[in-house]
Chain A
Amino acid sequence: MSEDRILLSHGDGGQRMAELIERVFLTHLGPSEPPGDDAARLSAPAELAFTTDAFVVDPIFFPGGDIGKLAICGTVNDLATAGARPLALSASFILEEGLPLADLERIVVSMAAAAAEAEVRVITGDTKVVPRGSADRLFISTSGIGAIPVGVAVSGASARPGDVVLLSGALGDHGLAVLSCREGLEFASPIVSDCAPLAGMVQDLLAAAPGVRALRDPTRGGLASTLNEFARQSGVTIEVEERAVPVHPEVAAACDLLGLDPLYAANEGKMVVILPPEQAQAAFAALRAHRYGREAAAIGRVQEGAPRVLLRTALGSHRLLDRHVGEQMPRIC
Chain B
Amino acid sequence: MCLAVPMKVMTISGPVAEVEDRGVRRAVRVDLIDAVAVGDYVIVHAGIAIEKLDQVEAEETLRLLEQMLSAPERPAGP
Chain A residues in the interface with B (C-beta under 8 A) = 187-191, 249-250, 252-254, 256-257, 259, 331-333
Contact = CB atoms under 8 A, between A and B. Distances in A.
B5 A257 contact: yes
Contact of B5 (A188, A190, A249, A256): A256
Contacts of B44: 257
12 contacts: A187-B24, A188-B24, A190-B23, A191-B23, A191-B24, A252-B22, A253-B22, A253-B23, A257-B7, A257-B44, A331-B3, A333-B3
B5 to A, nearest CB: 5
Given A187-B26, A256-B5, A259-B3, A332 B46 contact: yes
Nearest to B6: A256
Which 8 A-B pairs rank lowest in CB-CB distance, beginning with the nearest? A250-B23, A253-B22, A249-B22, A253-B24, A188-B25, A253-B21, A189-B24, A187-B26
Interface in B22-57: 22-26, 44-46
The CB with the most chain B CB atoms within 10 A, among A188, A252, A257, A333, is that of: A257
A331 B2 CA distance: 9
B1 interface: yes
Contacts of B21: 253, 256-257
Contacts of B1: 332-333
A257 B24 contact: yes
Nearest to B46: A332
Interface residues of B, number: 14
Given A250-B23, A333-B1, 15 more contacts: A188-B24, A189-B23, A189-B24, A190-B23, A191-B24, A249-B23, A250-B22, A253-B21, A256-B21, A257-B7, A259-B3, A332-B2, A332-B3, A332-B45, A333-B2
A331 B5 CA distance: 13
B41 to A, nearest CB: 13
A215 B22 CA distance: 31
A331 B1 CA distance: 10
A175 to B, nearest CB: 14
Contacts of A331: 3
A259 B5 CA distance: 10
A208 to B, nearest CB: 33
Contacts of B45: 332
Contacts of A250: 22-24
Contacts of A189: 23-25
Contacts of B23: 189-191, 249-250, 253
Nearest to B3: A259
Contacts of A254: 24
Contacts of A191: 23-24
A252 B44 CA distance: 15
A250 to B, nearest CB: 4
Nearest to A187: B26
A194 to B, nearest CB: 15
Nearest to B26: A187
A253 B25 CA distance: 9
A315 to B, nearest CB: 14
Nearest to A188: B25
Contacts of A190: 23
The CB with the most chain B CB atoms within 10 A, among A253, A254, A331, is that of: A253
A333 B2 CA distance: 4
A213 B78 CA distance: 59
